[in-house]
Amino acid sequence: MSKTLYGVYHGRLIQTLLIHFDDKMKTVCATALGTTSDKI
């Protein structure tokens, strides 16, 4: 997956979460690299 595609995916995912579930969450974040809890 390219860096551009990865960035667009995470940006749109966060946008969707905030639009549809803003009352259900306090914090949303994305990292530039995978973390230990990510399944890549």
At 23 the pLDDT is 94
At 27 the pLDDT is 85
Assess if residue 38 is contained within a domain.
no
Place of tokens 């749109």: 12
Nearest alpha-carbon partner for 17 in 9, 25, 6:
25
pLDDT in tens, 1-40: 788 888 899 899 999 999 999 999 888 888 877 788 877 6
At 29 the pLDDT is 80
At 5 the pLDDT is 87
Residue type, 23: D
Q: Where in the sequence is the domain holding 23, given as residue range(s)? A: 1-32
DSSP code of 33? S
| Tally of structural domains, the chain | 1
Assess if residue 15 is contained within a domain.
yes
Contact 17, 28 (CB under 8 A): yes
